[in-house]
Structure 1
């Protein structure tokens, strides 16, 4: 099906959008909401189909919040009835916008992660459990210009809930699931309560910054792979920081002490 056909505003456009969506859905990334679509457009994602229940309102929102992508969104979006949107996305975003994007190739992401010399760190989430936390970390990594985010374990970093939490910023950084043995090159700085206080360290630009799971911390394999154990300052008797908070503090420390800027 021609991508333009799926967006043509005639009486049959809704039916054609539904057919296009269902043909593409299983192998595509769901962009749920205005901000996810906005970021995907900014970072050159390929978007074969995008829908909204109110095209004029969506364009006006772009005028207000993202004028740089306004014309692109106007060309992408097809208006459909609310019932059609709910048939495509069971829990539509409050902005009533949804789209499908083509996932970046694994080979391209692996090449980006492995490229040296590297001027920004890679963030590793070791066996994470919470989809929302993973999405928040990807959003943070994109904001700091990190080379990529790698997860180990069973969590799919491209799960729709993770993409929603990341506000579409998966397309701004390399996101992949790897084993500990497949981690990108670079010195591994693993966060651990017994590690050296991060305030006394300068994190190199090619660092691999590893964070344990929300419940059990670093896995034995990742701990054995670490070159340095690093701790964040924390008041006694406070158990831990949220995973995304830990990543934010560490990336900020890198940005303040490293030689590169986002």
Structure 2
């Protein structure tokens, strides 16, 4: 994965990281971001963040949190909110949290206040009584999709803070699906309504190794 040291002379581009240029870039990033510093990548993503936020309750040491964060990076969400414990399992995120804005809220009340101040509608994603099927729901453009911990789902306090509840229709025998998978489906559904046709920001087609090394552009 990635590319080796960049051929000299190096371009005079402030976005490029001299250490990556010298040693190679093995990160899991798009080709357009090869050799860019983390700060430069974040600045570029900030210029075109989607108004979607996601929130995850962190009451348990749940591996799914990292997976949800990684999906949030893929959809370039405006913010990721961790409710509850400050420390969370980052292994599944595969360092993608470096390119996101991650916020911590010690309780539901502080999270709900943040959403009110930012005019974000809180949308709970869980197969609870009263939930509307996601596939027939019209999610607000400015919203925060909220996911509970694996197994327990959303807490009653967080459900009370939600403006609406949606659920993913299932057709098999299991009562619920993996939280990370549910989050990916929900973010994709939001994107169909609010991001379809927008600039994908450099999702690249396969290129040759030589082209990937040619960083001037």
Q: 1:250 to 1:224 in 2, by over 3 A?
A: same
**2:133 matched residue in structure 1:** 197
Output the TM-score relative to the length of structure 1.
0.54
**1:188 matched residue in structure 2:** 122
Structure 2: distance between partners of 1:191 and 1:143: 19
CA contact (8 A) 1:128 1:134 kept: no
Matches within 5 A, 1:107-122: 119-122=50-53
Structure 2: distance between partners of 1:131 and 1:218: 14
Shift of 1:212: 1.2
From 130, 135, 149, the equivalent of 2:80 is 149
CA contact (8 A) 2:132 2:166 kept: yes
Q: 1:224 to 1:237 in 2, by over 3 A?
A: same
Secondary structure of 2:142 counterpart: coil
Q: 1:170 to 1:199 in 2, by over 3 A?
A: same
Q: Which has the higher helix share?
A: 1
Shift of 1:131: 4.4
State the superposition RMSD in angstroms.
3.7
CA contact (8 A) 1:135 1:166 kept: yes
**2:209 matched residue in structure 1:** none
Secondary structure of 2:67 counterpart: helix
Shift of 1:259: 5.4
Structure 2: distance between partners of 1:72 and 1:177: 25
**2:24 matched residue in structure 1:** 59
Q: How many residues align?
A: 168
CA contact (8 A) 2:64 2:150 kept: no
In structure 2, stretches of 5+ residues that fail to align are: 3-14, 201-217
Secondary structure of 1:126 counterpart: strand
Secondary structure of 2:58 counterpart: coil
- Higher relative CO (Cα under 8 Å, sequence separation at least 6) belongs to 2
CA contact (8 A) 1:188 1:210 kept: yes
**2:94 matched residue in structure 1:** 167
CA contact (8 A) 1:128 1:151 kept: no
In structure 1, stretches of 5+ residues that fail to align are: 1-33, 35-43, 74-100, 105-111, 113-117
Shift of 1:204: 1.4
Shift of 1:258: 2.1
**2:58 matched residue in structure 1:** 127
